[in-house]
Structure 1
Amino acid sequence: METTVKFKTNIKCGGCIATVTPFLNETVGEGHWQVDIQDPNKILTADTSAATATEIKQSIEKAGYQAELLN
């Protein structure tokens, strides 16, 4: 069963996504996360089958962005 977590972030553009991509790909795997930059809260959704919510949050912050767990 796939479980996901959602984070409110300050990832706001394609450049931001390019910066965070290697960090998240290493943590949760390529194709197992996405950011909705059209949403006012810039929601990042990630699969937790490979990493915990805490590990995902740390990965986002390591890339230089903020993340607030929503669920």
Structure 2
Amino acid sequence: METLKFKTNIKCMGCISTVTPVLNEKAGVDKWKVDLQDPEKTLVIEGDSKPEEIVEALKGVGFNAERI
């Protein structure tokens, strides 16, 4: 199991509700979280997700993600 971290432009609960279906499908329910208090709005994913799939999935719903 790997921990992936991404800097994102997910900045509010409305954004979270938009990305939830996509991240639940790609990363798994309860396997991800976004720290809205962090200035970089860090997305942390636990599991076996491929970083490029996460980036593309978020891009598909209008958000940016950069692996850190």
TM-score by length of 1: 0.89
Alpha-carbon offset, residue 24 of structure 1: 0.5
Structure 1 residue runs of 4 or more that deviate by more than 6 Å after TM superposition? none
Alignment match of 1:53 (pick from 51, 54, 62): 51
Specify the SS of the correspondent of 1:65.
Answer: coil
Structure 1: runs of 5+ lacking an equivalent: none
Alpha-carbon offset, residue 67 of structure 1: 0.5
* Equivalent position of 1:36 in the other structure: 35
Alpha-carbon offset, residue 65 of structure 1: 0.3
Percent of aligned positions that are identical? 49
TM-score by length of 2: 0.93
Alpha-carbon offset, residue 61 of structure 1: 1.1
Specify the SS of the correspondent of 2:7.
Answer: strand
CA RMSD of aligned residues (A): 0.9
Work out the number of aligned pairs and report it: 68
* Equivalent position of 2:16 in the other structure: 17
Specify the SS of the correspondent of 2:11.
Answer: coil
Once the two structures are superposed, residues 21-60 of structure 1 have per-residue CA deviations (whole angstroms, 9 ceiling, x without a partner) of: 00000111110100000000000001242x2111111111
Alpha-carbon offset, residue 5 of structure 1: 0.7
Structure 2: runs of 5+ lacking an equivalent: none
